[in-house]
Amino acid sequence: MDNHTILHLTRLHPLIRTEVATIVDSCNKILTGKAKLRITQGLRTLEQQRKLYAIGRTIAGKKVTNAKAGQSIHNYGFAVDICLIVDGKEAIWDIGKDFDDDKIADWMECVKIFKQYGWLWGGDWKTNKDYSHFEKSGFSDWRTLSKLPVNDQGYIILTNEKRP
């Protein structure tokens, strides 16, 4: 697991950190070629979300998100974006590449593992597909999450009674 991925793991909601580390390790074990999985985004602050939302609206560029601050599951630490890192240096977002020559696209091998752990894939969305995006099912309703209290580290507090 590379340092970039480790950094993003440490910022995810504490409830899912271990699971995401297990998923990344599982993906990297099954990818026997020159590609490995990297987390490129995890927790995103509300300010970071505001800036992303502004791109293509009030800041020049192509729109990168339809989610305003507080409307992304990234804002609560329950989503990750990924890429494949080839030979430890080149980032690839091509979901069709098969670097380990097992006749299954490496990206899709990772999608399968995420789904086995109960994660939703942005590639399955009917509109605005986001192939690099995964979010933990059961925690994908920002309207519910936004109403929960926050602890002193800034993470929402989930009790058995308040789980989405």
Q: What is the pLDDT along the chain (164 residues), one digit of tens a residue?
A: 999 999 999 999 999 999 999 999 999 999 999 999 999 999 999 999 999 999 999 999 999 899 999 999 999 999 999 999 999 999 999 999 999 999 999 999 999 999 999 999 999 999 989 999 999 999 989 999 999 999 998 899 987 544 44
Give the model's pLDDT for residue 162. Answer: 46
Question: pTM above 0.95?
Answer: no
Q: Which domains does the chain have, with CATH numbers?
A: 3-145 (3.30.1380.10)
Give the model's pLDDT for residue 140. Answer: 86
- The DSSP code for 159 is -
Instruction: Report the C-alpha gap between 12 and 39 in whole angstroms.
Output: 11
Instruction: Report the C-alpha gap between 120 and 139 in whole angstroms.
Output: 10
Tokens of 89: 């240096």
Give the model's pLDDT for residue 160. Answer: 57
Backbone region of residue 148 per phi and psi (left: phi > 0; alpha: psi in -120 to 50; beta: other values): beta
